[in-house]
């Protein structure tokens, strides 16, 4: 049977269109009914990972913005004048990313309540047998950007102090920050020396945040 040019073109056109009809869901309807309806569907999926973010001091990101990573460890220090040692007048620290012994503190998580803890290896030591207790260092939390201030776990000698930060949004989202101001109570007269330091003589506190 001979094919006319018109028939050949029509067959070629249908052959070329077939992949377009088969690669995704499609619906072809015809007839005289009104309205004439064709339907198709698309499925969507978004995968959100479980995450937790903790910042104490110099770093990137706040609870009101994005979070990043920074490996800087700040040093908070005190050096009371000889005439004021042990006079019971609390002293603001030196250092901290906000200055004056004040650190930015941020916790963000999306998987329920956050357990926030502080851990020390022991009393601050001068390396010669003399010590100063971590209980002489107090942490006061105040508002930074979030309405709910992030509280600070207390510092203890050779121990871990823990608090629980409740979530919002059906209890799964934690988004808090604060300014943590460290002060030295200056209520005792220790022997002369340098107590603690940069990861020395029990001078480092480890803060840890975790979610279930």
Contact 140, 102 (CB under 8 A): no
The candidate with the shortest Cα–Cα distance to 129, out of 201, 62, 23, 60, is 201
The candidate with the shortest Cα–Cα distance to 138, out of 151, 129, 125, is 151
Residue whose pair of structure tokens reads 């005439």 in the numeric block: 83
Predicted pLDDT at 63: 57
The structure's pTM equals: 0.82
Predicted pLDDT at 167: 87
DSSP 8-state code for residue 99: B
Residue whose pair of structure tokens reads 């047998």 in the numeric block: 129
* Largest pairwise CA distance in the chain: 117
**Vertex 183 angle, CA 187 and 79, to 5°:** 70
In 113-186, beta strands by DSSP E: 114-119, 124-125, 131-132, 137-142, 160-165, 174-184
| Paired tokens of 128 | 């010669």
Reported for 78-82, long-range contacts at CB under 8 A and 24+ positions apart, including other chains, are 78/184, 78/186, 80/184, 80/186
**Quick one: which H or E segment has residue 106?**
strand 102-109
Predicted pLDDT at 46: 98
Task: Judge if the upstream peptide bond of residue 35 is cis by omega within 30 degrees of 0.
Answer: yes
The candidate with the shortest Cα–Cα distance to 103, out of 136, 76, 70, 66, is 76
Task: Give the domain ranges of the chain.
Answer: 91-210
Its sign, for the CA torsion 175, 179, 184, 185, is negative
Residue ranges for the chain with pLDDT beneath 50: 1-14, 17-18, 20-22
Predicted pLDDT at 8: 44
């Amino acid at each position: 049977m001979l094919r006319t040019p018109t028939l050949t073109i029509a067959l070629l056109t249908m052959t070329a269109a077939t992949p377009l009809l088969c690669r995704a869901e499609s619906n072809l309807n015809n007839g005289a009914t009104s309205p004439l309806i064709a339907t198709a569907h698309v499925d969507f999926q978004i995968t959100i990972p479980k995450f937790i973010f903790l910042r104490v001091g110099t770093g990137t990101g706040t609870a009101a913005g994005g979070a990043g990573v920074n490996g800087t460890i700040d040093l908070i220090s005190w050096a009371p004048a000889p005439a004021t040692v042990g006079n019971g007048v609390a002293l603001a620290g030196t250092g901290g990313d906000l200055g004056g012994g004040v650190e930015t503190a941020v916790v963000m998580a999306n998987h329920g309540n956050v357990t926030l803890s502080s851990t020390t290896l022991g009393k601050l030591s001068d390396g010669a047998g003399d010590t100063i207790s971590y209980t002489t260092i107090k942490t006061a939390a105040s508002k930074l950007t979030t309405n709910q201030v992030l509280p600070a776990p207390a510092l203890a000698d050779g121990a871990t102090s823990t608090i629980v930060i409740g979530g919002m949004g059906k209890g799964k989202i934690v988004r808090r920050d604060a300014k943590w101001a460290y002060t030295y109570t200056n209520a005792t007269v220790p022997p002369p020396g340098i107590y603690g330091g940069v990861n020395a003589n029990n001078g480092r506190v480890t803060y840890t945040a975790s979610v279930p």
